Structure 1
Amino acid sequence: MQFKLPTTATAPFCPSEVQGTVAVSPSAPFWKKLLQFAGPGLLISIGYMDPGNWATDIEAGSRYGYSLLFVVVLSSLAAMVLQCLSMRLGIVTGQDLAQLSSSRYSPMVARGQWLLAELSIVACDLAEVLGGALAFHLLFKCSLTVGVLLTAFDTLIVLGLKGKNFRDLEAIMLGLVATIGLGYVIELALVQPHWPSVMQGLVPSWSAVSEREPLYLAIGILGATVMPHNLYLHSSIVQTRAVKRDARSIASAIGLSRIDTLVSLTLALLINAAILILAAAAFNATGHNQVTEIEDAYKLLAPIVGTGFAAVLFAITLLASGQSSTFTGTIAGQVIMEGFLKMKIPCWQRRFITRALALIPALIGVSMLGNDAVGKLLVASQVVLSLQLPFALYPLIRMTDDRTLMGAFANRLPTRVLAWFLFVAISVANLWLAVQTFGWIG
């Protein structure tokens, strides 16, 4: 029995030709099929460990110890639910969220969604510029302004990837994520956290966020966790797998991709938790509870841990974090541009435009505020991201609820209730974060 798709669409992003190019073997053993579907979730997970997340996790750990660790866990669980919806939408319909939004909404609404999605990519890229610039500053002792300018050359890296197939890109991302993960394993071994306190921090506690400042920071963690352009991206890159269009094959693809998503985002969860645990063990436990800047964390690590290697490793993982997010931001930009505008441009041009737009506020901020600009601009970039999120969540949940679009793969009642609860909770929390950040109340 064939599963009928609603409509067909053009190939989804910059390397448009990669749609359906990763072969899958229906008769292969389960573990082999699982490896064939592994990869898209890894690219998505990179957005959950970018420099913006570092800023919120470091401040949370240094100021409140392990008490906000449960917020990292709950935020990551929410991200898993939403990314699984995005993945299922792409596999079932054969279209991505941008393409579907363009075809199902009026031109004015779709254009508004495109502008907001582009803004979220530029905001995210601003965090990568700042993270990369700070990493260069820490590793090579150059000024932050020089570091910002050095990040412009990542366009050359994108050019160097020309001609690579999608599995090559996934392998490169795996290497960068492995660098970040291994770095934090070593750093935690050097710092030696108090693990019973870590376990206690995993238990949800209202008292931990009952006051204004920790609640503000907790919402900041939530806002930095689920990135709107990642929802567009995931619905597209899952289509790189060549899946037969019958209901059984689609169901199998959803199941295998769900495992890929959950494992990858669990890895991102562990890395984000490791950042907070490192800050709690190295700073809060030693009386340094006002470390709110990434640069301050770098400077304090060596004397506290007793070896400069920990600080250098910290800077290397920061650089890997910024560079890995750069790649996925480029692909997300192509998905959004092609889906909403039906426009194709070379990847390096897309990379150049996005980076140029991010460099402007970074250079202005650094020139006016100096090193203090990094923390302030990182927080501002996360607020901008948080404001865009509901505009991607709403169509995603509506579409996956739609039985005429999704057929038998539409959301069931428990999933529907959970998804809309997350939409309301995240929207209210992000609005509160934005209001508090800009000082409109209180």
Structure 2
Amino acid sequence: MFQHDLPKARSSKRYRALFLGPAFVAAIGYIDPGNYATNIQAGADYGYMLLWVVVWANLMAALIQLLSAKLGLASNESLASLLGKRLPRWAVYPYWIQAEILAMATDIAEFIGAALGFKLLFGFTLMEGAVITAIISWAVLSLETRNLKTLQMVIGAMLLSVAFIYVIELIFSHPHPVSVFEGALIPGFSDRDSVFLAAGILGATVMPHVIYLHSALSKADLVKYGKIHRKTMFRSTKWDVALAMTIAGFVNLSMLAMAAAVFYGDPRADSGSIETAYETLTPLLGQLAAQIFGASLLIAGLASTIVGTLAGQEIMSGFVRFRIPLALRRLITMAPSFVIIAMGLNVTEVLVFSQVVLSFGIALALVPLILFTSDRKLMRGYVNPTWVNWLGWTTVVIVVSLNGYLLITS
């Protein structure tokens, strides 16, 4: 749609729908293979007990993604670019490096998860699955250079596909409704390992790299469609975030509930392994249930590794004003995953550990996000109300407290 066509379509639903998409890209980060590892292990080891962690983590994530989108629309800057401009010169590169490390830790979980999906579904070796993942993710990423909205639509379709699969999985697994509601509403831990898993769920749900990415995608919409339509874009963004995060939250809750219903207390189900979960689903629920579980892992892994590469590109561009070809970045971010696969490390343990590492970086992205969106001069008429700031800082305290507990007791 060209600029002179915008006033005519300004009030139409079709026009507002133009601004849907960035949150769906961000939401993929919340259902990546790291979530599979933490949710399945939580359900297998503790039943429905940690469902409340998923609920609260998803609510936190929705707030954070809305703030990230709002920052891009109000300031015409991404979070990374603002940090690159406002941090002391000596702090820019260390801050950029830690953000890149977090993005790479994310990509390890996502890439290995997709490779594991190919292995489970088609019988490839993990290395063969990794090669196929590399080829497909590179092909989809090439859409970014042609049409960003097309790429957003493809990723959004992947998100919806995974959600549909989990509707079917719930039908197969028959989780206990009362236990689901109790687990989702009543907080509680049983031991240190349950706290460790809670931190992993939080790290897998509130993702630092998509905090950076969402602001950049919103900024891109603002640049493309014009600043005079900022209010319409912001109204659409609220719907974008609400829809996308509801879908992602449903997938995470369904994943843990399915694991609790099928694996908890069953001697045939070993604790928490994705591969064991796939193998155990066949005798417990049938071959179709196992196959669609593998398909969901494959789709989520492919989509999230694409999003991870986009996030890394935006982080570099924002902090140090430098971009490299996406193909080269894809090659760099894939390298650690190939090393891990070649070393034969336990895939599920790597996935869970990567999510715990991510939880340590959330505050480093979240603190500046709250500070920037509280700046009246920067945000113009979109500054955070007081209650939003309180919610944001409460989220920071929860994240830091969980991580501090892990450090003290390790």
TM-score range, shorter chain: over 0.9
CA distance in 1, matches of 2:144, 2:200: 36
Percent identity between matched residues is 37
Report the counterpart of residue 319 of structure 1 in structure 2.
298
1:269 aligns with 2:249: yes
Counterparts of residues 68-147 of structure 1 (less than 5 Å): 68-147=50-129
Shift of 1:210: 4.5
User: Could you say which structure has the higher helix fraction?
Assistant: 2
Residues 386, 159 of structure 1: alpha-carbon distance in 2 compared, 3 angstrom cutoff? closer
**What SS does the aligned partner of 1:121 have?**
helix
Match of 2:386 among 383, 404, 413: 413
CA distance in 1, matches of 2:118, 2:197: 27
1:63 aligns with 2:36: no
CA distance in 1, matches of 2:134, 2:142: 14
Q: Is the 8 A contact 2:112 2:337 kept in 1?
A: no
Report the counterpart of residue 358 of structure 1 in structure 2.
337
Report the counterpart of residue 15 of structure 1 in structure 2.
none
**What SS does the aligned partner of 2:361 have?**
helix
Q: Is the 8 A contact 1:25 1:33 kept in 2?
A: no
Report the counterpart of residue 206 of structure 2 in structure 1.
226
Moved more, 195-204 or 384-393: 195-204
Report the counterpart of residue 231 of structure 2 in structure 1.
251
Match of 2:143 among 143, 161, 164: 161
* Letter aligned with residue 50 of structure 1: D
TM-score (norm 1): 0.86
* Letter aligned with residue 380 of structure 2: G
CA distance in 1, matches of 2:190, 2:316: 42
Residues 432, 441 of structure 1: alpha-carbon distance in 2 compared, 3 angstrom cutoff? closer
CA distance in 1, matches of 2:226, 2:131: 46
Residues 431, 144 of structure 1: alpha-carbon distance in 2 compared, 3 angstrom cutoff? farther
Residues 27, 431 of structure 1: alpha-carbon distance in 2 compared, 3 angstrom cutoff? same
Deviations 1:266-299 (A, max 9, x none): 1000001110111111112645564311001001
Shift of 1:172: 0.9
CA distance in 2, matches of 1:101, 1:215: 32
Residues 160, 395 of structure 1: alpha-carbon distance in 2 compared, 3 angstrom cutoff? closer
Query: How large is the Cα RMSD of the aligned pairs?
Result: 2.3
Q: Is the 8 A contact 2:140 2:151 kept in 1?
A: no
Q: Is the 8 A contact 2:116 2:126 kept in 1?
A: yes
Moved more, 178-187 or 46-55: 178-187
Report the counterpart of residue 409 of structure 2 in structure 1.
441
CA distance in 2, matches of 1:26, 1:243: 14
CA distance in 2, matches of 1:288, 1:102: 52
Q: Is the 8 A contact 1:155 1:348 kept in 2?
A: no
Counterparts of residues 229-308 of structure 1 (less than 5 Å): 229-241=209-221, 242-246=224-228, 249-284=229-264, 286=266, 290-305=270-285, 307-308=286-287
TM-score (norm 2): 0.92
**What SS does the aligned partner of 2:175 have?**
coil
Question: Which 5+ residue runs of structure 1 have no aligned equivalent?
Answer: 1-19
Report the counterpart of residue 359 of structure 2 in structure 1.
386
* Letter aligned with residue 378 of structure 2: L
**What SS does the aligned partner of 1:37 have?**
coil
Moved more, 379-388 or 117-126: 379-388
Report the counterpart of residue 14 of structure 1 in structure 2.
none
* Letter aligned with residue 287 of structure 2: G
Q: Is the 8 A contact 1:158 1:351 kept in 2?
A: no
**What SS does the aligned partner of 2:360 have?**
helix
Match of 1:175 among 149, 157, 170: 157
1:398 aligns with 2:366: no
CA distance in 2, matches of 1:140, 1:289: 22
Moved more, 31-40 or 49-58: 31-40
